[in-house]
Amino acid sequence: MTNIFETVKDFLQMNLDNEPKNPLHVGEVMSCWLYLALMDEATVYIQIALNTTTDDDVIKILKDSLNQCEEQGKRFKEFMKKEGVHLPPTSEQRPNSEPNEVPLGVKLTDDELMNGLSIKTITAITSCATAASQSIRNDVGALFTQCMLEKMKFGTSLKELMRKRGWIKVPPYYYPPGLPKQ
């Protein structure tokens, strides 16, 4: 059976080398700008989360996400600088602090931290898919596709931890009228 991700990767790679490098269109610039802002802001969120949790599993997944956000942010910064695109202003990096010294009324629970990280991960995946589908230049599409696949892979480990701990928020089930009883 054909692996869809390998097919997309092969298609983009095949067309990357022969493509003329037109200037980025405004949509590509905006997508890059927004995604870099998302990665930089997620980095700050994760730093705050690391300053408030003591759970080893949560710390591990936060560090994995932090490394991924920093790496993807670095790729976008290099690409945008090369293309002459201004970088978005973002929040300041956070210093390390002692989690047990943070007052309980101020810090988020591990459940809240992981759901916040889940929302940021879903937003990143959706942004990448949208940007990849709207990109004219194959190198831009490939950059977003690669980041999307990395985020999807990370999302599976995040979902596994959240399911194990009972942290996944499930919307109400929908039972359409006339559904046969089982």
DSSP code string of 103-128: -TTTSPPHHHHHHHHHHHHHHHHHHH
Token pair in block for residue 52:
């408030």
The dihedrals phi and psi of 115, each to the nearest 5 degrees, come to: -70, -35
Q: Is the pLDDT of residue 159 over 80?
A: yes
Q: Is the pLDDT of residue 11 over 80?
A: no
The CATH classification number of 24-90+106-165 equals 1.20.1260.10
| Residue 19: per-residue pLDDT | 72
| Residue 21: per-residue pLDDT | 83
Beta strand spans in 54-121 (E): none
Domain positions in the chain = 24-90+106-165
pLDDT in tens, 82-123: 999 999 999 999 999 999 999 988 899 999 999 999 999 999
| Residue 8: per-residue pLDDT | 62
What DSSP character marks residue 90?
Answer: -
| Residue 16: per-residue pLDDT | 58
104 or 152, which is more confident: 152
| Residue 175: per-residue pLDDT | 86
